Amino acid sequence: AQSVTQLGSHVSVSEGALVLLRCNYSSSVPPYLFWYVQYPNQGLQLLLKYTSAATLVKGINGFEAEFKKSETSFHLTKPSAHMSDAAEYFCAVRALNSGGSNYKLTFGKGTLLTVNP
Amino acid sequence: DGGITQSPKYLFRKEGQNVTLSCEQNLNHDAMYWYRQDPGQGLRLIYYSQIVNDFQKGDIAEGYSVSREKKESFPLTVTSAQKNPTAFYLCASLRQGVGEAFFGQGTRLTVV
C-alpha cells in the first residue's frame, strides 16, 4: 500500500524567507512523487515530479524538491517566498507495480502556505 | 486546446436526489480519476479507471457510481446513499507511463 504524510497543515512565512513544506511517503516499490499547488476554488497544477532520474528536481516558480530514499522524504523548498506563493500544496505518490500498470495516485492532506508581507 | 473539462462548476441538489457530474478530456489519456476534497482532508480517491469499460473503487467509493464507456468521458453519479455529499469534486486524467495527472477546475456540489 502507498501513502503520503504531509507534516504541518499550515505553514506561515514572511515574504523573502525560505519555504519548506514536508512530505514523507510510504511505498513498497520505488515511487513516483509529485507536488501540486491549488489556488482557491481551482483544480491542481503540477509544480514538479520525481520519476527516478535526478534526485533533486526543479519545478516551476522557483520551487525544487529532493528525493531522499533513506528518509522516505520528498520535501518542497523555495529560497525566497513571494506573496503569490500563498496557496495550498499537495504531495502525491504513485507506485508502479512490476508491470508498470498501477495507476492509483494517492495524495497527502495538504499544507496551506501563508506568506506575510 | 487540450485539457479536462468539468461541468457544471457549481451544482445544487435537494437531499435524496441522485446527481451526475461530468468530466471530459481530450488529452487522449488512458486513466481517469475522481477525487473528493473537504477542508483539512486533502484529496480522497473515489474511483479511477485505467481503460474503457473498466474501473476500480478508491478509498471512499460508497454512495458513488461511475461509468467509462468512452475514453474521453468519466461521469460520476452521487447517489442518495452518500451520507454527506456536499464537497468539492475534482476529476483528473493521466497518460500511461511516468506522466503526471492533469486536473479539471472542479465542481462544487451543495446538497440542501
Tens of pLDDT along chain A (117 residues)? 788 999 999 999 999 999 999 999 988 777 899 999 999 888 999 999 998 778 899 999 999 999 999 999 999 999 999 999 999 999 999 877 655 566 788 899 999 999 999
Report the residue from B50, B98, B105 with minimal CB separation from A42: B105
- A101 interface with B at CB cutoff 8 Å: yes
Cα B18 to Cα A113: distance, rounded to the nearest angstrom = 36
Contact B103/A106, CB-based, under 8 Å? no
- B11 interface with A at CB cutoff 8 Å: no
Smallest CA-to-CA distance from B71 within B99, B89, B96 is with: B96
Is the model's pLDDT at B12 over the cut of 80? yes
From A7's Cα to the closest Cα of chain B, the distance in A is 13
B58 vs A contacts (CB less than 8 Å): 104
Is the model's pLDDT at B96 over the cut of 90? no
Tens of pLDDT along B14-46?
998 999 999 999 999 999 999 999 988 889 999
B43 vs A contacts (CB less than 8 Å): 44, 90, 107, 110
Measured between CA atoms, the residue of chain B closest to residue A105 is B45
Question: Which residue did the predictor score with more confidence, B50 or A102?
Answer: B50
From A14's Cα to the closest Cα of chain B, the distance in A is 23
Contact B48/A105, CB-based, under 8 Å? yes
Going by the DSSP 8-state scheme, the letter that residue A42 receives in this structure is S
In chain B, the percentage of residues whose pLDDT exceeds 90 is 78
Cell numbers placing A97: 507495480
A90 vs B contacts (CB less than 8 Å): 42-43
CB B87: neighbour CB atoms within 10 A? 22
Pairing mode, strands A31-38 and B10-13:
unpaired
Determine phi and psi for A96, rounding to 5 degrees. Answer: -75, 140
In chain B, the percentage of residues whose pLDDT exceeds 70 is 98
CB distance A61 to A47 below 8 Å: yes
From A97's Cα to the closest Cα of chain B, the distance in A is 11
Pairing mode, strands A111-116 and A87-95:
antiparallel
CB distance B82 to A16 below 8 Å: no
CB distance B35 to B44 below 8 Å: yes
CB distance B23 to B106 below 8 Å: no
The pLDDT value recorded for residue A35 is 97
Q: Which of residues 46-85 of A touch B (CB under 8 A)?
A: 46, 49, 51
Cα A21 to Cα A115: distance, rounded to the nearest angstrom = 13
Q: Residues A31, A37, A40, A42: what is their CA dihedral angle, to the nearest 10 degrees?
A: -70
Residue entry with cell 474503457: B52
- DSSP states of A10-30: EEEEETTS-EEEEEEEE-SSP
Contact B43/A90, CB-based, under 8 Å? yes
Of the listed ranges A26-30, B8-12, B91-95, the least confidently predicted one is A26-30
The pLDDT value recorded for residue B57 is 93
